[in-house]
Amino acid sequence: MLRLKNINTYYGKVHALKNVSLHLGEGEIVTLIGANGAGKTTILNTISGVTPASAGEILFCKETVTALQPDKVVQRGISQVPEGRQVFKPLSVEDNLELGAYLRYRSREGKASIHKDMDKVFTLFPRLEERRKQLAGTMSGGEQQMLAIGRALMANPKMLLLDEPSMGLAPLVVQEIFRVLERLRQENGTTILLVEQNAKAALKLADRGYVLETGKVILEGPADELLENAEVKRAYLGKDKKEIWER
């Protein structure tokens, strides 16, 4: 469904992504893990068109989306839930969700189907419905994360890019959010690319994973294999360090 071929991205002179290639099949959940500065967020922003690639190609549903502006990428069906949630704090929950459907208001489909999708978001996150008139900035971190996901879903995407949805949240809330992601895949067949620091939780949810280091993919494979991989365990799961050293 999505394929990145030898993507290179620069921030000025800094070479942030070096020949990154990856792919996602339809309905797959794939996770990107890696340390700070490995290039995880950059991959998502390159797909979204916020920091365009300087070389390489991105194919989505067999069409190239490499040089598209961010709004065109959304139109093709890729929505991003940005890092740190970035909900619009002075706006109400409802306004935030309506902004998620920004491009759809211009198309011919009409408001009825948009309101239907808003109800769908409220079924996924009942807490948002209770707070629909509340200002987004006054909600807890978990609720804001739910809002950020709901907002992205309002664009009716085929594929969802999530940037560290677990950041700064209580373990129970993380569980709840990950359950919703699983449900989205089952009910809507949404394809999900998940960037996570919480490598263990992410690998448990995902089908496959890629490990990044300083802008390069150094390892890839099925999620359960990566969970057992000694190198991954040492570097990202923070467990059994001693054991590996002694071996």
- The residue ranges that bind another protein (CB under 8 A) are 48, 50, 69-71, 74-75, 79-80, 82, 86-91, 95, 98-100, 102-103, 105-106, 151-152, 155
State the amino acid at position 165 in one-letter form. Answer: P
- 86, 149 Cβ separation under 8 angstroms: no
Q: How many Å apart are CA 16 and CA 155, to the nearest integer?
A: 29
- Shorter beta-carbon distance to another protein: residue 85 or 208: 85
- Shorter beta-carbon distance to another protein: residue 87 or 223: 87
Quickly count: other Cβ atoms within 10 Å of residue 237's Cβ. Answer: 16
- Cβ 80 to another protein shortest distance, Å: 4
- Shorter beta-carbon distance to another protein: residue 24 or 87: 87
Q: How many Å apart are CA 118 and CA 121, to the nearest integer?
A: 5
- Burial (CB < 10 A; 0-12, 13-18, 19+), residue 93, is buried
- Shorter beta-carbon distance to another protein: residue 136 or 203: 136
- Cβ 81 to another protein shortest distance, Å: 8
- 27, 191 Cβ separation under 8 angstroms: yes
- Cβ 105 to another protein shortest distance, Å: 5
